[in-house]
Amino acid sequence: MKENGDSPGAISELLACLIQPVLFTFRWDTWSQVSPNEQVFDFTGPRRVVSIYQQYRALNPTEKKYFFDVVKLVILIDCLWFYERGEAHDFYEKRQIDALDRLGRDRFHQALFGETR
């Protein structure tokens, strides 16, 4: 399905890029100061971005269903930009993925969209 010439996957990835920087309470320069089990999400900014976005174009059910995966993909793509940092047991993007895995798809969906899947 195409809308305005853009594929829904590309639209979801763009939206994920907009919310990913404000989703976590830690940044690339502070991640090592945060405990791996600490609450690291702030959905206030991302909910606002999604709300404004959906005033212009609503996400369809399939986009919402896989949005958790798209956010993880954006983080992994970001990780590729900094691949030259070398091998490490723990690093910024790993902490983001680990935090999303601990939160889980259903709680992520509830916190971001305010609805159960």
Tell me phi and psi for residue 3, to 5 degrees. -135, 125
Coil, helix or strand at residue 24? strand
Residue of 33, 15, 32 lying closest to 71 (CA atoms):
15
pLDDT tens digit sequence for 35-72? 888 889 999 999 999 999 999 999 999 999 999 999 99
Cα of first residue to Cα of last residue in the chain, in angstroms, is: 22
Name the band, by pLDDT with cuts 50, 70 and 90, for residue 1: very low
Task: Kindly report the number of other CB atoms within 10 A of residue 4's CB atom.
Answer: 6
Residue 5 binned pLDDT confidence (cut-offs 50, 70, 90): very low
Return the domain boundaries, the chain: 8-113
Reported pTM: 0.81
Contacts of 34 by beta carbon, 8 Å cutoff, 6+ apart: 25, 26, 40, 95
